[in-house]
Chains A and B, each alone.
Chain A
Amino acid sequence: MVPVEYYIILSAILFSIGVAGVVFRRNPLVIFMSIELMLNAANLAIVAFSSVLNSFSGQIFVFFVIAVAAAEVAVGLALIVEIFKTKHTIDVDQLNSMKG
């Protein structure tokens, strides 16, 4: 079979790419996509381990993560729409009115 290390390495790479996306991109939609990528990377890691440990609780947990991700995106997109209504831009760098 495919050794579990490959799955973990893939998950790590995906997670890193997701982190890079969150940190380096200015478009919130891309940031959310990157967050999704991070979450999915985590899911991949959980599923891989659950198959190795022959435990279903991991896979059940993945369901929760997916549901939470979806809800979170929904809320986030709604926020972005509102922000756009006021600021007419979705560049996160422009959201700096709470600076000290």
Chain B
Amino acid sequence: MKDVLIALNKIKELGVIDDYAIGGAVAAAFYIEAVNTEDVDVFLFLSPSQNSLLLSLSPIYDALQRLGGVIDREYVVFGDWPVQILPAYKPLIEAAIKHAELVQYDDVESKIFSPEYLCAIALDTSRMKDFYRVATFIEQKKVDRKILDELIDEYQLGDKTLKVLNWNEP
């Protein structure tokens, strides 16, 4: 994982990407207990020069390959970790990257989604495991309910909360 974070920081420093943040189960594991996952979800803003109508991820894949990554289907693999590159494709994801939290993994600095954005994105994604993740955040009191409620209003996710079994718990 350390190699992944070093590579991501490097391509940001080189200007290949504008910014990034880790989401999904790897980010959630920072706050709550770990669950199995196949890959690291890396959400990113492309550098301004790359923001054209024809969006291409090949400069990112090329840069990561030069830093030791191995391309395997849609992933770039570093050691044990396949990395999935996901451009910010909707306003909720863009906001999540902007409000990501700075964290340390060993001695490497990185950015991960905040608990509130992880929950909002999980509600938006709406798979069974996403509802379970939100329930776990609530159960372990790791999410600011006021901020999450604001995100739910802003991104119209209210109907999704009905599927979270412990949503009405304080």
Q: Do A and B come from one complex?
A: no
* Residues of B in contact with A (beta carbons under 8 Å apart): none
